[in-house]
Amino acid sequence: MTTIKRVFVAASITLAALIIYQWGHIDGREGKPSIVIAESIAVSSSVPSTVKARERDYYSPNSEDLKPDEMRVIACGTGMPTTRAAQAAACFLVELGNGDKFLFDIGSGSAERISSLQIPYDYLDKVFIGHLHADHFGSLGELFIGGALMGRQKPLRVWGPNGRAPELGTAYAVQKLKEMYTWDLAGRVGLVDFRGYSIEVNEFDYTAENAVIYQVNGVTIRSFPAIHSLDGPVSFSLEWNGLKFVFGSDSYPNKWFVKYAKDADLVVHECFVAVPDLVAKMGFTPEQALVVGTQIHTAPEAFGKIMQEIKPRMAVAYHFFKDFDTTAAINDRIRTTYDGPLSLAEDFMVWNINKDDIRVRMAVVEEHTWAPPLASKPALPQKGDTEKYSKGMNVDMKSMGYSDFIKQGRWADVDEANRGIYEEASKALGRKFEYPSQ
Ligand SMILES: [Zn+2]
Ligand SMILES: [Zn+2]
């Protein structure tokens, strides 16, 4: 071994020993490394500190306050009508520094993504639906019923377009959804806090151009027509505090989008699966793939063309299956027509937006979640709930409950076991819970 090599090896061993020694002497009380260890890190950048580990580049829900001038957008669904575990269908959550939150589309599977964010459901009471394809509102029922169960103590409010006939509008779809849940609702009314089990619909004219459909608390949401499948679909813009978010829902490239999304901060527009993949992976014929991939939806090249015109601070492409063998092709095709800032969205991608910066990260979420914290106090069922909520339903909910036939099927032997649970609760909480008479 040469002298130089010997010196190098000796220095390395000494440094390693110093680091190992000092690593064991981090001041546990403060949770911070000592000054000595900080010097060691300066010598060897390969040794992480606990502080550094906390600053990893991900978003952990409920761990960051939004600044008063900041907007946060979270993708809660970026996929397709063909369902898959890896991606829910269309849904984007917008959170503002003033505390307001808005959902744009509520596609199949997205309610599960939303629940992972552990946001109190009272704050998730506003949903804007761009069009009535299942992959854009398939989870509305889950947000309606499940959201109430998990603590929404106010009606769910839905905004969506009308159509060329009453049966093609949002109000009709929501009324039928509510009717679909007649049995579900009838089984709960009178037993639980029922304030969250109602839906308000705000249907607006799909042909209105850049029309204000919501304006509260400094937030303005506008609608403009989209071109997709049938008359009816719309796109939305949300403006607040000098920031502009645009959500396309689904649309073939159109003049309204180019006009009203121009220069926005974050622009979300569909970017459909590339035509060759529609044939190879989805079993389309070439003829079908060409029509669906370029005429009904927006091809990656067309997405790029729109963004090159709009020049957003960040272009967000969604509505394709983002896999190891599809992402590069989508990117390459977009880049034939667009060279600006780009996010290829996937579920739980997060954008923090202020006037100076757009930070893009992924959220790291908990899958085994329970109900999130409550934002308002729960209440016992109110007298008159049944009459109040029976309105607009096709059955008289007052006549609900078990028939004598079903009542007679109760197995009395289980009462003793159940009584024990009542006694346990009475003891634990210091008040008497009476076992119901059968
Ligand atoms: Zn659609
Ligand atoms: Zn769609």
Whether 137 is in a domain gets the answer yes
Q: What percent of the chain has pLDDT over 90?
A: 78
Mean pLDDT of 18-44: 40
- In this structure, which ligand is nearest to the CA of 251? 1
At residue 18, the pLDDT reads 36
- Higher-scoring residue by pLDDT: 378, 358: 358
2-11 pLDDT per residue, tens: 444 444 444 4
- In this structure, which ligand is nearest to the CA of 228? 1
Domain residues for the domain of 158 are: 59-363
Residues with CB under 5 A from ligand 2 (ion): 135, 250
144-158 pLDDT per residue, tens: 999 999 999 999 999
224-251 pLDDT per residue, tens: 999 999 999 999 999 999 999 999 999 9
- In this structure, which ligand is nearest to the CA of 77? 2
Specify whether 162 is located in the same domain as 271. Answer: yes
> How far, in Å, from the CA of 347 to the mean position of ligand 1?
18
SS3 of the chain: the string is CCHHHHHHHHHHHHHHHHHHHHHCCCECCCCECCHHHHHHHHHCCCCCCHHHHHCCCEECCCCCCCCCCCEEEEEEECCCCCCCCCCCCCEEEEEECCCCEEEECCCCCHHHHHHHCCCCHHHCCEEECCCCCHHHHCCHHHHHHHHHHCCCCCCEEEEEECCCCHHHCHHHHHHHHHHHCHHHHHCCCCCCCCCCCCEEEEEECCCCCCEEEEEECCEEEEEEECEECECCCEEEEEEECCEEEEECCCCECCHHHHHHCCCCCEEEEECCCCHHHHHHCCCCCHHHHHHHHHHHCCCHHHHHHHHHHHCCCEEEEECCCCCCCCHHHHHHHHCCCCCCCEEECCCCEEEEECCCCEEEEEECCCCCCCCCCCCCCCCCCCCCHHHHHHCCCCCCHHHCCCCHHHHCCCCHHHHHHHHHHHHHHHHHHCCCCCCCCC
Instruction: Choose the final residue of a domain: 363, 379, 413.
Output: 363
Tell me the pLDDT band of 39, cut-offs 50, 70 and 90.
very low
Tell me the pLDDT band of 55, cut-offs 50, 70 and 90.
low
> How far, in Å, from the CA of 250 to the mean position of ligand 2?
5
Specify whether 10 is located in the same domain as 98. Answer: no
> How far, in Å, from the CA of 428 to the mean position of ligand 2?
51
> How far, in Å, from the CA of 346 to the mean position of ligand 1?
18
Instruction: Choose the final residue of a domain: 332, 363, 394.
Output: 363
Instruction: Say if residues 87 and 347 touch (Cβ distance below 8 Å).
Output: yes
Specify whether 63 is located in the same domain as 40. Answer: no
Specify whether 275 is located in the same domain as 317. Answer: yes
Tell me the pLDDT band of 47, cut-offs 50, 70 and 90.
low
At residue 43, the pLDDT reads 52
> How far, in Å, from the CA of 136 to the mean position of ligand 1?
7
Whether 207 is in a domain gets the answer yes
Whether 376 is in a domain gets the answer no
Mean pLDDT of 266-289: 96
Specify whether 309 is located in the same domain as 227. Answer: yes
- Higher-scoring residue by pLDDT: 369, 438: 369
Whether 187 is in a domain gets the answer yes
Task: Indicate whether 19 pLDDT > 80.
Answer: no
> How far, in Å, from the CA of 78 to the mean position of ligand 2?
9
Task: Indicate whether 305 pLDDT > 90.
Answer: yes
Tell me the pLDDT band of 400, cut-offs 50, 70 and 90.
confident
At residue 31, the pLDDT reads 39
At residue 56, the pLDDT reads 67
- In this structure, which ligand is nearest to the CA of 229? 1
At residue 15, the pLDDT reads 40
> How far, in Å, from the CA of 133 to the mean position of ligand 2?
7
Whether 247 is in a domain gets the answer yes
Whether 378 is in a domain gets the answer no
At residue 44, the pLDDT reads 53
Task: Indicate whether 27 pLDDT > 60.
Answer: no
- In this structure, which ligand is nearest to the CA of 89? 2
Out of 8-17, 318-327, 391-400, 422-431, least confident range:
8-17
Considering the entire predicted model, what is its pTM?
Answer: 0.87
> How many distinct structural domains can be found in the chain?
3
> How far, in Å, from the CA of 203 to the mean position of ligand 2?
20
> How far, in Å, from the CA of 111 to the mean position of ligand 2?
16
> How far, in Å, from the CA of 382 to the mean position of ligand 2?
40
Whether 31 is in a domain gets the answer yes
Specify whether 279 is located in the same domain as 152. Answer: yes
- In this structure, which ligand is nearest to the CA of 79? 2
Out of 93-107, 108-122, 185-199, 380-394, least confident range:
380-394
> How far, in Å, from the CA of 227 to the mean position of ligand 1?
10
> How far, in Å, from the CA of 80 to the mean position of ligand 1?
9
Specify whether 184 is located in the same domain as 260. Answer: yes
- In this structure, which ligand is nearest to the CA of 135? 2
- In this structure, which ligand is nearest to the CA of 131? 1
Q: What percent of the chain has pLDDT over 70?
A: 86
Mean pLDDT of 28-33: 38
Task: Indicate whether 87 pLDDT > 50.
Answer: yes
- In this structure, which ligand is nearest to the CA of 320? 2
Average pLDDT, the chain: 89
Task: Indicate whether 40 pLDDT > 50.
Answer: no
> How far, in Å, from the CA of 111 to the mean position of ligand 1?
18
Whether 257 is in a domain gets the answer yes
At residue 283, the pLDDT reads 95
Specify whether 30 is located in the same domain as 114. Answer: no
379-393 pLDDT per residue, tens: 988 888 888 877 777
Specify whether 205 is located in the same domain as 246. Answer: yes
> How far, in Å, from the CA of 250 to the mean position of ligand 1?
5
Tell me the pLDDT band of 395, cut-offs 50, 70 and 90.
confident
At residue 222, the pLDDT reads 98
Ramachandran category for residue 36: left, alpha or beta (phi over 0 → left; psi -120 to 50 → alpha): alpha
> How far, in Å, from the CA of 297 to the mean position of ligand 2?
8
> How far, in Å, from the CA of 131 to the mean position of ligand 2?
9
Q: What tokens were used for 178?
A: 């509510």
Tell me the pLDDT band of 102, cut-offs 50, 70 and 90.
very high
Tell me the pLDDT band of 26, cut-offs 50, 70 and 90.
very low
Specify whether 342 is located in the same domain as 432. Answer: no
Specify whether 90 is located in the same domain as 235. Answer: yes
> How far, in Å, from the CA of 135 to the mean position of ligand 1?
7
Task: Indicate whether 37 pLDDT > 70.
Answer: no
Specify whether 47 is located in the same domain as 134. Answer: no
- Higher-scoring residue by pLDDT: 46, 259: 259
> How far, in Å, from the CA of 249 to the mean position of ligand 1?
7
Task: Indicate whether 401 pLDDT > 90.
Answer: no
> How far, in Å, from the CA of 83 to the mean position of ligand 2?
11
At residue 17, the pLDDT reads 38
At residue 4, the pLDDT reads 46
Report the CATH number at residue 92.
3.60.15.10
> How far, in Å, from the CA of 301 to the mean position of ligand 1?
19
> How far, in Å, from the CA of 167 to the mean position of ligand 1?
17
